[in-house]
Structure 1
Amino acid sequence: MSLDTYKILTKKQWEKAQEIGCIKTSIDEKDGFVHLSTAAQLAATLSFFFEDYETLLLLELKKNEFKEALVFELPFPEDHRSGRFPHLYSELKVSQISKVWEIKRGAFSLPKELLLKAEH
């Protein structure tokens, strides 16, 4: 599957990632993979998991960098969401990020290009 995939980080997490060269979050380390979202999943992910933040960073991963390490699976841990979610079973390096957007609360205004992707 070659859907565009995204990672949501706090400013502090992104600053740390730039220092060490890879993206590490406590939930990813606990679960054993990097939690990602497709464009269609971003609004719900922001709503359910980032409700306490006013500003976040949205990172777009470079396409075709991950091969079999990127797996689309049922939600983990299981919850009320459905569909298959991108899970990355390898390190996510800062160099593997193609775009970074700062997004702000106001129902988190996603970049227009991503909203359009969600309609497909």
Structure 2
Amino acid sequence: MSSSSEEPTFWYKILDAAPPSPLPETLPATPLDAKDGFIHLSTASQIPITAGLFFTNVDCIWVLKLRREKIDGRVDYPPELGKSCPHIHDSRQGLGKHNVERVIELRRGEGQDWKDVDGMKQLED
């Protein structure tokens, strides 16, 4: 996968539980990824939106900051979401210590929206 000016440097994976530490070579697929047969990822700007839609029942999420160029597999983008939610198909390596640059823990206060969590500012494209 080659880098281009319109592609972000980083993609992100949201988890509702802390990943193992240290990170293994390959993390197990999330239940949603296993069911759908691909890895769901987001861009930095999409994280608060995705968290607000799908992580409403938790007050803490872990976000894996992934270097895009180190992710193998075929990339598709759902037409309705544009390039904000990459889907990775047929990855041989998956996600793990080889492509996770950082694990970011984000907590929201009672009644706080994910988009208002200070840690969201740590995310960069």
TM-score, with normalisation over the residues of structure 1? 0.74
Q: CA deviation at 1:32?
A: 0.7
How far apart in 2 are the matches of 1:23 and 1:104?
A: 23
Displacement, 1:24?
A: 1.3
* 1:113 corresponding residue in structure 2: 122
Report the counterpart of residue 88 of structure 1 in structure 2: 88
Show structure 1 runs of 5+ residues with no match: 76-80
**Cα distance per residue 1:19-64 (max 9 Å; x no partner):** 6732410110111111000012111100000000011101101231
Residue correspondences, number: 109
1:9 aligns with 2:15: yes
1:78 corresponds to: none
The alignment partner of 1:15 has SS state of coil
Give the % identical residues. 30
**What is the identity, as a one-letter code, of the residue corresponding to 2:75?**
V
Residue 73 of structure 1 aligns with which residue?
Answer: 77
Q: Superposition RMSD on alpha carbons, in Å?
A: 2.6
Question: Contact (CA 8 Å) 2:71, 2:99: kept in 1 or not?
Answer: no
Q: Normalising by structure 2, what TM-score?
A: 0.72
Answer yes or no: is the 8 Å Cα contact 2:24–2:96 preserved in 1: no
Alignment partners' CA distance in 2, 1:26 and 1:17: 21
d(CA) in 1 for partners of 2:104, 2:122: 12
Q: Structure 2: which 5+ runs fail to align?
A: none
What is the DSSP-based 3-state SS (H/G/I as helix, E as strand, rest coil) of the residue aligned with 2:104? Answer: strand
Partners of 1:7 and 1:36 within 8 A in 2? yes
SS in 1 for 2:69: coil
Against the structure 1 CA distance between its residues 71 and 19, is the aligned structure 2 distance closer, same or farther, given a 3 Å change threshold? Answer: closer
- Indicate how the Cα distance of structure 1 residues 70 and 104 shifts in structure 2: closer, same or farther if over 3 A, else same: farther
- Cα distance, 1:70 vs structure 2: 4.7
